[in-house]
Structure 1
């Protein structure tokens, strides 16, 4: 392990991207090398090539293991990062994104005063949860959960969650906690439909192989947190939204209907379309019948 081998140069940037990167990481397409880039980048490398990702703007550090234990190692070794930056984005390394999208996400996080948010996914992405795919009618949706693929956390939220990162390779279960840390959590987490990124590889393929070597599984990590904090299934609900004309939607069922209509109209664009009708029906049922719970969760020491 070598997570403290690179100190970021002094900048005036308020935002940081940390990517846990393998040899095929796509982060060089994110625009951090542009002299006008408004965020800093740290590449936390889990590969074995001593020459990989040594460009000055990449700020490489090394750590074997999973995504979240690697992020814990970095932020524990360099806790000043949590004071230096206002928002920290933690994307997977197989996301196609550009500088404009990433910067716009940080800008909108600040504008809306969010604690945590994420970009949406393009319809041709590999995905785990249908409601995080881009819904073209909306600018953004307020949601009760944020997935682990590309969360953007306010630094104080990252600091509160950091102890839980230590024993988590997969991050499963973290996504049901970090939207519920404050006394009032309504309106503090959102998915940005107008800011989509593309997930290019099947979900969890590399992670599952890595975890099996340690005798762990993502689902075991989820069950452990679920037993500690008493939550159930992961299914994101969109409870408010702002559409492309600036109108605010406050009816959860109507948001669900609009999402289903958009996805049906664009169903030919889906990469994973084999179970689409089943997933759309499930989304609609949840939007109609499931209540939003954003009550505060107190993390255990």
Structure 2
């Protein structure tokens, strides 16, 4: 039984086949959010279809398959436009375990980013932070259990990543941007859910302050 998984939502232009070009030590769970199910149905033993937004769909998938949370140690949830190699995904899981991280993400190695601190820093292995973005978080099992309710709090997912650091107590240095792992965000950020973001931040009295060190 594999101990880690990649779990995400995909559409017709998904890059997930890059993630499994080599033999992998993780399971791949795919939720097809558009009409491309027939194209991808044989890419993994775990492929389903449902319309909606990423974190709502993941929330429903895990609630409908609760045994999965106990099956895996770590859960990587990249957007389907993230270009990353099998080797780097496996390295991500090793770093999660080595540094006992609750949540982390690979650094972004190109210019399509939303937050400067998520971009790759030269001569750095990893930086501790209070903020890991919804674009491609990787959770430990315990962390996922704690934050899972947030996946169902908004439609778009905007704002929930500002909550994770509070829930997981980032002062314990258990959140990180991993500079030793490259990823490329292949499309500019196009979605706009600022109203939902604002409402979520107000609901939980959250701060926009972000740090990494």
TM-score under structure 2 length normalisation:
0.93
Measured in 1, the distance between the counterparts of 2:144 and 2:90 equals 19
* 1:98 is aligned to 2:85: yes
SS in structure 1 at match of 2:56: helix
Deviation at 1:183, TM superposition (A): 5.7
What's the C-alpha RMSD, in Å, of the aligned pairs?
A: 1.7
Distance 1:56 1:48 in 2: 15
Say whether the 8 Å CA contact 1:120–1:195 is kept in structure 2: yes
- CA deviation string 1:209-256 (max 9, x = no partner): xxxxxxxxx2222222212211132x43113xxxxxxxxxxxxxxxxx
In the other structure, the counterpart of 2:101 is 114
List runs of 5+ in structure 1 lacking aligned partners: 1-11, 209-217, 240-301
How many aligned positions are there?
Answer: 213
Deviates most, 159-168 or 90-99: 159-168
Q: Does 1:162 align with 2:148?
A: yes
Corresponding residue of 1:83 = 70
Aligned residues of 1:22 and 1:46 also touching (Cα < 8 A) = yes
Is the 1:117–1:190 Cα contact (8 Å) retained in structure 2? yes
| CA apart distance, 1:179 | 2.1
1:42 Cα deviation (Å)? 0.7
Task: Flag the structure with larger Rg.
Answer: 1
Instruction: Please show how residues 1-301 of structure 1 align to structure 2 within 5 Å.
Output: 12-31=1-20, 34=22, 36-57=23-44, 59-122=46-109, 124-182=110-168, 185-203=171-189, 205=190, 207-208=191-192, 218-233=193-208, 235-239=209-213
Deviation, 1:58, is 5.4
Query: Within 2, Cα distance between the matches of 1:185 and 1:40?
Result: 31
Return the alpha-carbon distance in structure 2 between the equivalents of residues 125 and 53 of structure 1: 29
Structure 1 contact 20–71 (Cα < 8 Å) conserved: yes
In the alignment, is the contact (CA less than 8 A) between 2:4 and 2:72 conserved in 1?
yes
**Structure 1 residue 107: Cα displacement:** 0.3
Deviations 1:192-223 (A, max 9, x none): 111010000011x2x45xxxxxxxxx222222
* Cα distance per residue 1:130-149 (max 9 Å; x no partner): 11100112011011111111
Higher relative contact order (CA 8 A, sep 6+): 2
Q: Contact 1:127 / 1:199 at 8 angstroms: preserved in 2?
A: yes
Q: CA deviation at 1:181?
A: 2.1
